[in-house]
């Protein structure tokens, strides 16, 4: 896989960059940086950024390819779990960012405490809202199961309040919905949580997609007009929070 194929910058990245408060002297840590679509944009605006990710080496390899290709001097990467990030393990940063990377973390409380502790100035958490993955949820509804969602934004927001942190919260108004080349592409790229499905249930996915995805005549892609990306930015300044 080549980095240019995967680190696609879209409407979300633009909106996120508008919201972040960054200074050219800032140090930033990007929790769950993936292949670095956000990391590289931030690197243009700050002094230093450390991207951490625990995925199989591929994601960080793609970011490293980009760093080498563009000769970027102020990005460092580290393979580690977000759950292991603390003052002891990484030190302090002016800005802490987690972009779309908190959805698999079960013990979110300690992660929130550590994120707050290591930040000198701001913490920004861009997380998925409850209206994501509507097609997948509709499929689960049809087979009579609950869709296994992780810590949605309201849970994180409430947890922060319980920790004495009073964050700001903003919904991104993203226009685009997910688009697919064909049914196979949708089957692969949607978030089915296959571990929770039996073989017979998995066999029902493609017929369900045939029924629910519509062809967009303008671009020839498959989509579902109800399928909106729901991202929420939860953020706070260290100056304005009290324990
Ligand atoms: C959807 S991608 C987001 C990438 C990038 N931050 C962005 O917004 O474009 C989520 C990334 O978070 C990483 N991630 C998820 N849970 C993690 C964890 N517990 N520790 C470290 N990385 C994690 C994944 O490996 C993946 O690269």
Given this model, what pLDDT does residue 9 score?
60
For tokens 């073989």, what's the residue? 199
- In this model, does residue 5 exceed pLDDT 60? no
- Assess whether 235 and 193 both reside in one domain: no
CA dist list (Å): 85 to 16, 44, 71, 171, 178 = 23, 24, 27, 27, 32
Q: Is residue 7 part of a domain?
A: yes
Distance from C-alpha of 47 to C-alpha of 75, rounded to nearest angstrom: 9
Structure tokens at 198: 């039996």
Same domain, 104 and 185: no
Q: Residues 27-75: pLDDT tens digits?
A: 999 999 999 999 999 999 999 999 999 987 678 888 999 999 999 999 9
Q: Say whether both 48 and 112 belong to one domain.
A: yes
Residue 242, pLDDT above cutoff 60 = no
- Give the Å distance between the CA of 119 and the centre of ligand 1: 19
Sign of CA dihedral 232, 238, 242, 243: positive
> Across residues 202-224, what is the average pLDDT?
95
Report the nearest-CA residue for atom 4 of ligand 1.
34
Helix residue ranges per DSSP H, the chain: 3-6, 11-19, 37-43, 58-70, 87-90, 108-118, 134-142, 153-162, 183-189, 199-203, 205-212
Measuring CA to CA, which residue among 234, 230, 206 is closest to residue 96?
A: 234
Residue 143 covered by a domain: no
- Does the beta carbon of 101 sit less than 6 angstroms from any atom of ligand 1? yes
143-198 tens-digit pLDDT? 999 998 766 788 899 999 999 999 999 999 787 778 899 999 999 999 898 889 99
* Residue 235, domain extent: 3-132+149-176+229-240
Q: What is the mean pLDDT of residues 108-112?
A: 95
Q: What is the pLDDT of residue 6?
A: 46
Report which ligand 1 atom has the smallest distance to the Cα of 98. 6
Q: Which residue's CA lies nearest to atom 23 of ligand 1?
A: 32
Say which CATH number the domain at 24 has: 3.40.50.150
Q: How many CB atoms neighbour CB 219 within 10 A?
A: 9
Q: Is the CB of 32 under 6 A from ligand 1?
A: yes
């Amino acid at each position: 896989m080549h980095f240019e194929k995967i680190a696609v910058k879209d409407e979300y990245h633009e909106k996120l960059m508008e919201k972040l408060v960054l200074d050219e002297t800032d140090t930033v840590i990007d929790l769950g940086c993936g292949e670095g679509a956000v990391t590289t944009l931030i690197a243009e605006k700050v002094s230093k950024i450390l991207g951490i990710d625990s995925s199989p080496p591929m994601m960080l390899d793609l970011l490293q390819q980009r760093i080498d290709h563009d000769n970027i001097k102020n990005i460092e990467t580290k393979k580690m779990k977000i759950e292991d990030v603390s003052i002891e393990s990484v030190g302090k940063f002016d800005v802490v960012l987690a972009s779309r990377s908190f959805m698999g973390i079960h013990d979110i409380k300690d992660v929130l405490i550590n994120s707050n502790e290591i930040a000198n100035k701001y913490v920004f958490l861009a997380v998925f809202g409850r209206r994501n993955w509507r097609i997948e949820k509709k499929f689960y509804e049809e087979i009579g199961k609950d869709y296994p969602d992780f810590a949605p934004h309201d849970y994180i927001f409430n947890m922060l309040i319980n920790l004495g942190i009073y964050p700001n919260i903003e919904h991104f108004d993203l226009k685009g919905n997910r688009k697919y080349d064909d049914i196979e592409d949708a089957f692969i790229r949607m978030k089915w949580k296959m571990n929770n499905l039996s073989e017979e249930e998995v066999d029902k996915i493609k017929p369900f997609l045939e029924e629910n995805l519509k062809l967009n005549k303008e671009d020839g892609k498959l989509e579902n007009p109800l399928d909106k990306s729901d991202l929420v930015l939860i953020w706070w300044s260290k100056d304005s929070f009290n324990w």
